[in-house]
């Protein structure tokens, strides 16, 4: 099972990358954290880097690990969904940034490996659609 979501923004791929990964706490809403203890969301854009929620003092939740980086074109992850979040499931995810119409097209692709029901997958797709096409796009528009 899988899904793909795309959005167009007016920023070039270099700015899109910067906004998405390095300024993520400026646009990622707190209601999308898994815990009220989360102080920040981090995506380390290096091979072996982590995607995680930081609760401070060494506590938090790892969402995944960076498998591939092709700056500023793409970032690939291996993710985890524990039973608490609809798993056990592994995910392979890819963020792609391509020039388009004087700006950029951002695409998020995810493949699920393991048992995930359609209801959970639909909820995840809806959440990622809102994150990318509403929150991220609006954040970028404010900077154009």
Q: Give the tens place of pLDDT for each residue, 85-131.
A: 888 999 999 999 999 999 999 999 999 999 898 999 999 999 999 99
15 DSSP 8-state letter? H
pLDDT in tens, 19-52: 999 999 999 999 999 999 999 999 999 999 999 9
Report the C-alpha gap between 12 and 100 in whole angstroms: 9
Q: What per-residue confidence (pLDDT) applies to 86? A: 84
pLDDT at 20: 97
Domains of the chain, by residue range, sit at: 2-141
CATH number of 2-141: 3.30.530.20
Rounded to two decimals, the pTM is 0.93
Q: Give the model's pLDDT for residue 25.
A: 97
- Give the per-residue pLDDT at 79: 96
Which one, of 133, 136, 124, 132, lies nearest residue 3 by Cα? 124
Tens-place pLDDT, residues 64-78: 999 999 999 999 999
Instruction: Write out the two tokens for 60.
Output: 């938090």
The pLDDT score that the predictor gives to residue 115 is: 87
pLDDT for position 21:
97
Q: Interior CA angle at 77 toward 73 and 83, to 5°?
A: 150
Mean pLDDT within 139-143: 93
pLDDT at residue 58 is higher than 90: yes
In which element (H, E) is residue 61 found?
strand 59-70
């Amino acid at each position: 099972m899988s899904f793909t979501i795309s959005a167009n923004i007016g920023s070039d791929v270099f700015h899109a990358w910067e906004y998405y990964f390095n300024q993520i706490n400026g646009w990622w809403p707190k209601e999308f954290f898994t815990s009220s203890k989360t102080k920040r969301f981090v995506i380390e854009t290096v091979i072996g880097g982590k995607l995680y929620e930081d609760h401070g003092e060494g506590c938090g939740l790892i969402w995944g690990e960076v498998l591939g980086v092709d700056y500023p074109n793409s970032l690939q992850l291996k993710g985890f969904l524990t039973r608490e979040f609809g798993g056990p499931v592994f995910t392979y995810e890819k963020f792609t940034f391509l020039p388009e119409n004087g700006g950029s097209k951002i695409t998020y692709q995810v493949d699920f490996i393991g048992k995930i029901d359609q209801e959970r997958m639909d909820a995840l797709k809806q959440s990622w659609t809102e994150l990318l096409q509403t929150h991220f796009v609006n954040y970028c528009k404010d900077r154009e």
